[in-house]
A and B are shown apart, each in its own frame.
Chain A
């Protein structure tokens, strides 16, 4: 045994390695990204790891390996499961041979996601077992259990941590022994090909199996009922930790039901919990999953236990729970008087710090070039998911729409059908282009749309921490594969007008966008410049105080975090400046240049 301080995501990865995982696939997404990265970093040599182009592909690759008897794991964030939902729903019917764990990280808040969807519900919908760890150390052990249950019932299982488990750190006891999979290989059998008749039969099997798994889960080691009394708290995941913390703070005791497997619901254990109770408060985040299960069980067994939670407005319906919010709810439930934390008085006005594009970010130059090129024309800018979503902020204001991965290109097409006199510009990043942008391009060409695509190619998946993708040629196995050229892909798809530019050459970039906008049909400008995190800074820039008139055009136009208003002049913070030079190009008084003065 070795004790290490691990992030929940690292603990999940180390637990999967211990469980003998052989193939790991995924697509980056906060808060799930570090799981796959940790596998790659600690690869004992026999594990195949890949960033797949998207979650659907990742799930299918892992399923294939699991058909052959390998233990496989797929990682993604909650919205990634929407992309992977097609194979997920069918795979639930087909089943697997080797253990297959689909790790889907939920993001209550949301802190960095488009939705607050609850993957436990996805598990219920797909009729798959769901595991919900409450801490990094539990996650380390639970992921191994997940593989075992998957093999025991020949079904993929969902493992869904939430942000505070994923990104929380704890000391984890690492077991140096690991499970070894004896690979049988793929054996041909009609059961691997889905047909309506097979689906019907498998549906019957699944329905018959769920109560069996539920019974099994009632004995599962991380599900528990402790304490006594007439009032009970039911909880799971990180909310179990908040609940324990709350009871410590309130110096209160009551019966607690910890649900580590929300689906299929451990009904027998729930009955043990409900026995002798008068009321229950369910402490959970996102959807009222445990709450509805308890309401159902009470109805089914004619129990007169009052179930309180989100459905009864005793807990908030949206957003993240905190120890404070849980303490408030539990104190009210237990009728313990608590005074709410006193607000600080006469607090000064705090500066707001919205996330911004980094100083030197090539996206700023690209957005600025498009903005200049489109001046005086009616244009709508459809954005997409990535760092460049931050282009919505002042002063750029270049993201009019943002929906989901790959939707910039397609929303632009729809907008253009409604208002053909408008120029419809769609922004997409390189990783997003490969993820789900390509079908939208084909659709635009095939259906003779008239849009301008701006590909923001910074040679990485920047937002999630610089993962490689097909355009970079680097793989998670450390090999170099052939880089897939976005320009050639666009040409091959039938886009006739494709121009590549360095966005930091502003004048040329503006002209390129103007030409693309004037082109009738689908056109594309690829702005190519690496993310600043991948390159050494160029010569930092300075403002010549003698020439600076204090007009602040640079600040007002670009919103670069390195540019600081200093009395009536502008100053550049050299610790932030990457020497991208667009401020120099924007300054009407030639007061900015690339050297210390």
Chain B
């Protein structure tokens, strides 16, 4: 059984990423359950998507300390759901911080570095994705979700191969977006930075 938790900010394409993981796992004959936050919590707020794959699954939600892999679409959001990570689990995180409006309003200065440092000192298996480099390579900022998916696949934590995911993307996404997303998937897989900070 593999539990994968995706966390970020509303609008980052987390739901699509979690669906693609589920589809890829289903095509391998696994039982899949997922759960996501929809509704008021979505607008600019924290969004979490739970993906569970394997056998004998009942709850669509991942329990604390039992995620094999956490995909953080934003540094602070990865830290926020770190309590879900199981011992020895992997964290994939996008380097780019998203400042909340409340941060601009108050006099705090959140930039994500402190979060990445915390992850570096608390997670043994940490992969930081250089978001800006992926954006530059793909020429779009809308591909973050697929790039992170690429990194997650490359980390071998999902139990799905890059080929499986490419096939799923080709099957499930609208024709016009397939090429760009395949590019993002590969870019994500490629730019996996195995550095750890701190």
Residues of A within 8 A of B (CB): 3, 5, 30-31, 111-112, 135, 164, 167-171, 238, 240-242, 244-245, 248-249, 322-324, 327, 341, 343-344, 347-358, 387, 390, 394-395, 463-464, 552, 555-556, 559-561, 563-565, 575
Cross-chain pairs A/B with CB under 8 angstroms, 23 sampled: A30-B38, A111-B41, A164-B35, A167-B35, A167-B36, A167-B38, A168-B60, A238-B59, A249-B63, A322-B63, A323-B61, A341-B83, A348-B79, A350-B79, A351-B110, A352-B102, A355-B40, A355-B44, A387-B43, A561-B101, A564-B104, A565-B99, A565-B109
B37 at the interface (CB under 8 A from A): yes
Q: Is the CB of A245 within 8 A of B79?
A: no
In the complex, A244 Cα to B56 Cα: how many Å?
Answer: 10
B64 at the interface (CB under 8 A from A): yes
Given that A351-B99, A358-B44 are known contacts, is A245 also in contact with B59, CB under 8 Å in the complex?
A: yes
Q: Is the CB of B9 within 8 A of A353?
A: yes
Query: Which residues of chain B have C-beta atoms less than 8 A from A170's C-beta?
Result: 32-34, 60
Given that A168-B60, A169-B60, A390-B43 are known contacts, is A351 also in contact with B83, CB under 8 Å in the complex?
A: no
B22 at the interface (CB under 8 A from A): yes
Q: Is the CB of A356 within 8 A of B101?
A: yes
Query: Which residues of chain B have C-beta atoms less than 8 A from A353's C-beta?
Result: 9, 44-46, 100, 102
Given that A245-B63, A344-B82, A358-B43 are known contacts, is A351 also in contact with B58, CB under 8 Å in the complex?
A: no
Q: Is the CB of A323 within 8 A of B63?
A: yes
Please, which residue of chain A has its CB at the minimum distance from the CB of B60? A168
User: What mask results when residues 45 to 72 of chain B are scored 1 for a CB within 8 Å of chain A, else 0?
Assistant: 1100000000010111101110000000
> Shortest CB–CB separation between residue B31 and chain A, in angstroms?
7
Given that A169-B22, A356-B44, A394-B105 are known contacts, is A348 also in contact with B58, CB under 8 Å in the complex?
A: no
Query: Which residues of chain A have C-beta atoms less than 8 A from B58's C-beta?
Result: 135, 240-242, 244-245, 248
Please, which residue of chain A has its CB at the minimum distance from the CB of B64? A341
Instruction: Tell me whether chain B's interface is mostly helix, strand or loop, or mixed.
Output: mixed
In the complex, A353 Cα to B141 Cα: how many Å?
Answer: 21
In the complex, A533 Cα to B43 Cα: how many Å?
Answer: 12
Q: Is the CB of B60 within 8 A of A354?
A: no
Instruction: Tell me whether chain A's interface is mostly helix, strand or loop, or mixed.
Output: loop
Q: Is the CB of B39 within 8 A of A351?
A: no
B197 at the interface (CB under 8 A from A): no
Q: Is the CB of A111 within 8 A of B60?
A: no
In the complex, A426 Cα to B27 Cα: how many Å?
Answer: 52
In the complex, A297 Cα to B36 Cα: how many Å?
Answer: 38
In the complex, A189 Cα to B60 Cα: how many Å?
Answer: 48
Given that A31-B38, A555-B105 are known contacts, is A355 also in contact with B45, CB under 8 Å in the complex?
A: yes
In the complex, A209 Cα to B112 Cα: how many Å?
Answer: 63
In the complex, A171 Cα to B104 Cα: how many Å?
Answer: 43
Identify 13 new A-B residue pairs, CB closer than 8 A, beyond the known A323-B59, A351-B99, A355-B45.
Answer: A111-B39, A169-B35, A241-B59, A344-B83, A350-B76, A350-B80, A351-B103, A463-B40, A552-B104, A555-B105, A559-B105, A561-B44, A565-B109
Query: Which of B114-122, B147-155, B156-164, B180-188 interfaces with chain A?
Result: B114-122
In the complex, A19 Cα to B89 Cα: how many Å?
Answer: 44
In the complex, A561 Cα to B102 Cα: how many Å?
Answer: 9
Query: Which residues of chain B have C-beta atoms less than 8 A from A135's C-beta?
Result: 58
Query: Which residues of chain A have C-beta atoms less than 8 A from B133's C-beta?
Result: none
Query: Which residues of chain B have C-beta atoms less than 8 A from A464's C-beta?
Result: 39
Q: Is the CB of B79 within 8 A of A355?
A: no
